[in-house]
Amino acid sequence: MNQDDVGRAVAALRSARRVVAFTGAGVSAESGLATFRGAGGLWEGHRVEEVATPEAFAADPLLVWRFYDQRRVHALAARPNPAHETLSAWQERFPSYMVVTQNVDGLHQGAGSRDVIELHGSLWRLRCTGCGRERDDRTAPLPALPPRCAACGAAERPGVVWFGEALPTEAVMAAKSAVERCDVLLVVGTSAVVYPAAALVELAAAAGATVIEVNPEASALAHLAGVALRGPAGRLLPQVAAGLAGG
């Protein structure tokens, strides 16, 4: 990756009217939060894909509850990093702009991003396993046992999308329609292996958008990127922002 790549990213953004930022766990890495496939995607020896599932919650609710409690405690102690801050500042810069994230940590909102599309839900929401009622909850640590729903008394679960579960329809629709018509899709900090979220990158490329990947490593969809910024987003996005502000 060299300065020319940053220059090409600046050029693409300078002429863009509609921009979408699609982010994954890597955008929160410099805030100190673990990525999924970074540490081999392990948590206490369990593969995340095995813990973040309805089956795991049914089989061992306390193990899964503890997994999310620990993620919440870490996320509560984390601060947005310059990547989140740059993506937030750009909502004033482009006529049409949207942040679509796979992350559940809420750091984009913490940096001031508004109307963030959370494709995989949020650590800060609890959902009733009985009536589906959802509520915000930022207590950390969580109580040892999943709380009971105030409406129906069933146990509550984390308000996230587990493997094998459908993504929230309205979030997917909003993300798809933005991605289909954007001029530039920024793909920041995602390995692009989890579907259907990763399909957004394919959709943007097929619709003729310029895809700019910001990631120290090539993602599974790196071949769709017109520009690849190979490095940490917390350093590279501010560099692009400086180039963009340079007029």
Whether 120 is catalytic is yes
Query: Which one of 85-93, 131-139, 174-182, 214-222 is the stretch in contact with ligand BV8 (CB under 6 A)?
Result: 214-222
Residue whose CB is less far from Zn ion, 150 or 206: 150
- 182 touches ligand BV8 by CB under 6 A: no
- 131 touches Zn ion by CB under 5 A: yes
Taking CB atoms within 8 Å and a gap of at least 24, the contacts of 2-7 are 5/227, 5/228, 5/229, 5/230, 6/229, 6/236, 6/239, 6/240, 6/243, 7/243
- 173 touches ligand BV8 by CB under 6 A: no
- 12 touches ligand BV8 by CB under 6 A: no
Q: From the list Zn ion, ligand BV8, none, which binds 131 (C-beta under 5 to 8 Å, kind-based)?
A: Zn ion
Q: Which residues bind ligand BV8 (CB under 6 A)?
A: 24-26, 29-30, 35-38, 49, 52, 102-104, 120, 160-166, 189-191, 193-195, 214-217, 219, 232-234
Q: Which residues bind Zn ion (CB under 5 A)?
A: 128, 130-131, 133, 149, 151-152, 154
